[in-house]
Amino acid sequence: MADTPFAAPAFLPTPDSGGAPPVQGLHLTFGKDPGSQMVVSWLTDSPVKRPRVMYGTLEHGLGAGAEAQTRSYDDGKSGRTVYVHHAALSRLTPGTDYVYIVSHDGASPDSGMFRTAPRGRAPLTFTSFGDQSAPQVTWAADGTVALDANSTPATKDIVTGIEQVAPLFHLLNGDLCYANLDVDRVRTWNNFFTNNTRSARFRPWMPAAGNHEIEKANGPIGLGAYQTYFDLPSTETDAELAGLWYAFTAGSVRVIVLQNDDNCLQDGGDVYISGYSGGRQLAFLEKELRAARSSGDVDWVVVAMHQVMISSSDANGADLGLRQKYGPLFDKYGVDLVVCGHEHNYERSLAVRGVVSGSETLTPNPVSQATDSIDTSLGTVHMVLGGGGVSGTTNQSFFKDGTGKVITAVSATAGSNGKRTSTYVKEQAVWTGVRDLEHPYGFAAFTVDPGRHPGDTTTLHVTYYNVNKPHGELSVFEQFTLHRKRSDGPR
Ligand SMILES: [Fe+2]
């Protein structure tokens, strides 16, 4: 990289470009290789000229530049067009801090910093939650100001919480902002990014699309807005499916992100899209899992998705479609950890493998009763992290009699509410580990201890934080560890 001084003058507004829209919603996502690639993205409400990023290390300054590519979509409800500019930075140095400035002609520059992922077995921390919403302000008829119906103070406070932990990256497990429920979907998305940019400009927030990202009249399966806002490290060659599932490696952690509405039964979005990929997503999942488990560089296999395979809450319930399709693959390839959302509460499973013999609901089979120190080479731990800020919390809805409920079928057609009706079957929740009955909001932080030598034990230290009233103070609800043998020892 050229050793040049601060290059900000290139970004000063040009006098003849009046009316250029401001940079909004600056956010980061990893490229295919988080050690050397980062995508810098921002929004505008009209077209811009020469969207670009200058970047470099603290030591060497802003010596490198990248042009951004602009994607747009026409919101099928309002008719408005949204422009999102994505600049792919490459050839970065692993484990290194960078500064960057973004702009387009006529706009005041905006800026951020980030750290690239380390290579190999290095300590790192990531965080996760789902079901956030956007702190949208509405004006009632009497002139009072109120948060949007889906928002709570935690919608904002949880972002501050993530910044207090300052992870390398964050996994955002779907139902990002519930724009599909709002009068003005474009405004809601904008507020979502405005709320999160104070963290997402400093560290990648890696999303999984949930059922509330499915928007009527936006793209072939309703995920067109999501696919425009994020430029994700997808390997999918069908453009209509690009960015909906992807995988990346940070240190010794392989993260596989799924879009569950393809594989679940429940009708949770504006459009019912079950089976939309024609098996492409499952093929991707198996290929990724096989590669991860045969790699001597990957210890931890983490799946991030939205809907759940476990729930003992009388809310959505677990989904049999996911158990049928994902369960055998998670077992075969020894997935360590699944993080999800959808239920607006916190619950985690024991280590599970296989199903309880003869269970109609394919009840996950606990292989251990351990909750403090869990060997994930024996079974997968599922974590429901749906307390990301949205209203309608369900921590009061946990079954108290040791049962759970499972969606086992949906009706062939939609009812008067526009949704297919779910059929539920109760089961004994023999798999449940820990539930937070008291607090609605929180997130999990995961810190990798990579161990010291080939074949050593590696540990994932997990902390679940509550985000509390009145100002978002964090408190620790619980801490536990996952462990397994490193994959670089004798097989
Ligand atoms: Fe959901």
CB neighbour list of residue 253: distance below 8 Å, 6 or more residues apart? 124, 126, 298, 299, 300, 302, 448
User: Phi/psi of residue 8, each to 5°?
Assistant: -60, -30
Span from the CA of 2 to the centroid of ligand 1 (angstroms) = 47
CB neighbour list of residue 462: distance below 8 Å, 6 or more residues apart? 444, 445, 446, 479, 480, 481, 482
Span from the CA of 95 to the centroid of ligand 1 (angstroms) = 34
- Residue 136 is predicted with a pLDDT of 74
**Do residues 415 and 460 both lie within one domain?**
yes
Q: Which residue has the tokens 């059922």?
A: 211
Q: Which tens digit of pLDDT belongs to each residue from 394-432?
A: 999 999 999 999 999 999 999 998 999 999 999 999 999
Span from the CA of 245 to the centroid of ligand 1 (angstroms) = 17
- Residue 9 is predicted with a pLDDT of 41
**Do residues 77 and 215 both lie within one domain?**
no
Of the pLDDT bands very low, low, confident and very high (cuts 50, 70, 90), residue 145 is: low
Span from the CA of 340 to the centroid of ligand 1 (angstroms) = 10
CA distance 270 to 174: 15
Span from the CA of 178 to the centroid of ligand 1 (angstroms) = 9
Residue 187 scores a pLDDT above 70 = yes
Span from the CA of 347 to the centroid of ligand 1 (angstroms) = 15
Residues, beta carbon < 5 Å, ion ligand 1? 175, 210-211, 342
CATH code of residue 199: 3.60.21.10
Task: Kindly state the DSSP code that residue 416 receives in the 8-state scheme.
Answer: T
> 213 lies in which domain range?
120-485
Domain boundary among 79, 113, 147: 113
Span from the CA of 162 to the centroid of ligand 1 (angstroms) = 21
Report the chain's mean pLDDT, rounded to a whole number.
94
**Do residues 364 and 459 both lie within one domain?**
yes
CB neighbour list of residue 383: distance below 8 Å, 6 or more residues apart? 128, 337, 338, 339, 340, 346, 347, 348, 349, 444
Nearest to 384 by CA among 429, 424, 422: 429
Q: What would the two tokens of residue 477 be?
A: 């609800």
Q: Which tens digit of pLDDT belongs to each residue from 353-400?
A: 999 999 999 999 999 999 999 999 999 999 999 999 999 999 999 999
Domain boundary among 113, 130, 165: 113
**Do residues 16 and 144 both lie within one domain?**
no
Span from the CA of 378 to the centroid of ligand 1 (angstroms) = 29
- Residue 415 is predicted with a pLDDT of 93
Domain for residue 132, yes or no?
yes
3-state secondary structure of 320: helix
Span from the CA of 15 to the centroid of ligand 1 (angstroms) = 47
Segment 96-115 mean pLDDT: 97
Q: How would you classify the pairing of strands 442-449 and 457-468? A: antiparallel
Of the pLDDT bands very low, low, confident and very high (cuts 50, 70, 90), residue 148 is: low
Domain for residue 428, yes or no?
yes
Of the pLDDT bands very low, low, confident and very high (cuts 50, 70, 90), residue 142 is: confident
Span from the CA of 306 to the centroid of ligand 1 (angstroms) = 6
The continuous run of DSSP H or E covering 129 comes out as strand 124-129
Query: Which residues make beta-bridge pairs with 88?
Result: 39
Show the CA angle centred on residue 246, arms to residues 66 and 178, nearest 5°: 90
- Residue 66 is predicted with a pLDDT of 98
**Do residues 326 and 385 both lie within one domain?**
yes
Domain for residue 100, yes or no?
yes
CA distance 122 to 124: 6
* pLDDT top residue among 244 and 142: 244
Domain for residue 490, yes or no?
no
Question: What pTM was computed for the model?
Answer: 0.95
Residue 326 scores a pLDDT above 50 = yes
Span from the CA of 386 to the centroid of ligand 1 (angstroms) = 8
Domain for residue 2, yes or no?
no
For residue 138, count CB atoms less than 10 angstroms from its CB and return exposed for 0-12, middle for 13-18, buried for 19 or more. middle
- Residue 146 is predicted with a pLDDT of 61
Span from the CA of 174 to the centroid of ligand 1 (angstroms) = 7
CATH code of residue 33: 2.60.40.380
**Do residues 265 and 326 both lie within one domain?**
yes
CA distance 192 to 179: 9
CB neighbour list of residue 465: distance below 8 Å, 6 or more residues apart? 161, 165, 442, 443, 444, 445, 474, 475, 476, 477
**Do residues 41 and 161 both lie within one domain?**
no
**Do residues 222 and 299 both lie within one domain?**
yes
Of the pLDDT bands very low, low, confident and very high (cuts 50, 70, 90), residue 280 is: very high
CA distance 205 to 304: 12
**Do residues 73 and 177 both lie within one domain?**
no
Q: What would the two tokens of residue 259 be?
A: 């879009």
Query: Which residues make beta-bridge pairs with 114?
Result: 98
Q: Which tens digit of pLDDT belongs to each residue from 425-474?
A: 999 999 999 999 999 999 999 999 999 999 999 999 999 999 999 889 99
- Residue 15 is predicted with a pLDDT of 44
| Distances 201 to 28, 122, 433 between C-alpha atoms, Å | 6, 23, 35
**Do residues 295 and 375 both lie within one domain?**
yes
Span from the CA of 478 to the centroid of ligand 1 (angstroms) = 24
**Do residues 282 and 366 both lie within one domain?**
yes
- Residue 365 is predicted with a pLDDT of 98
Span from the CA of 342 to the centroid of ligand 1 (angstroms) = 4
Segment 329-356 mean pLDDT: 98
Span from the CA of 491 to the centroid of ligand 1 (angstroms) = 40
Q: Where are the alpha helices (DSSP H) in 123-184?
A: 154-165
CB 210, CB 222: distance < 8 Å: no
* pLDDT top residue among 19 and 174: 174
Domain for residue 82, yes or no?
yes
Span from the CA of 223 to the centroid of ligand 1 (angstroms) = 14
Span from the CA of 63 to the centroid of ligand 1 (angstroms) = 43
- Residue 149 is predicted with a pLDDT of 66
Of the pLDDT bands very low, low, confident and very high (cuts 50, 70, 90), residue 147 is: low
CA distance 307 to 335: 17
Span from the CA of 210 to the centroid of ligand 1 (angstroms) = 6
3-state secondary structure of 171: strand
Q: How would you classify the pairing of strands 246-250 and 253-257? A: antiparallel
**Do residues 83 and 143 both lie within one domain?**
no
Span from the CA of 172 to the centroid of ligand 1 (angstroms) = 12
CB 472, CB 153: distance < 8 Å: yes
- Residue 183 is predicted with a pLDDT of 85
Q: What would the two tokens of residue 211 be?
A: 């059922």
Span from the CA of 189 to the centroid of ligand 1 (angstroms) = 16
Of 148-152, 154-158, 168-172, which range is least confident? 148-152
Span from the CA of 345 to the centroid of ligand 1 (angstroms) = 12
Of the pLDDT bands very low, low, confident and very high (cuts 50, 70, 90), residue 341 is: very high
What domain count does the chain have?
Answer: 2
Span from the CA of 383 to the centroid of ligand 1 (angstroms) = 15
Of the pLDDT bands very low, low, confident and very high (cuts 50, 70, 90), residue 491 is: confident
* pLDDT top residue among 218 and 135: 218
Domain boundary among 66, 93, 113: 113
Q: What would the two tokens of residue 162 be?
A: 């993530």
* pLDDT top residue among 112 and 151: 112
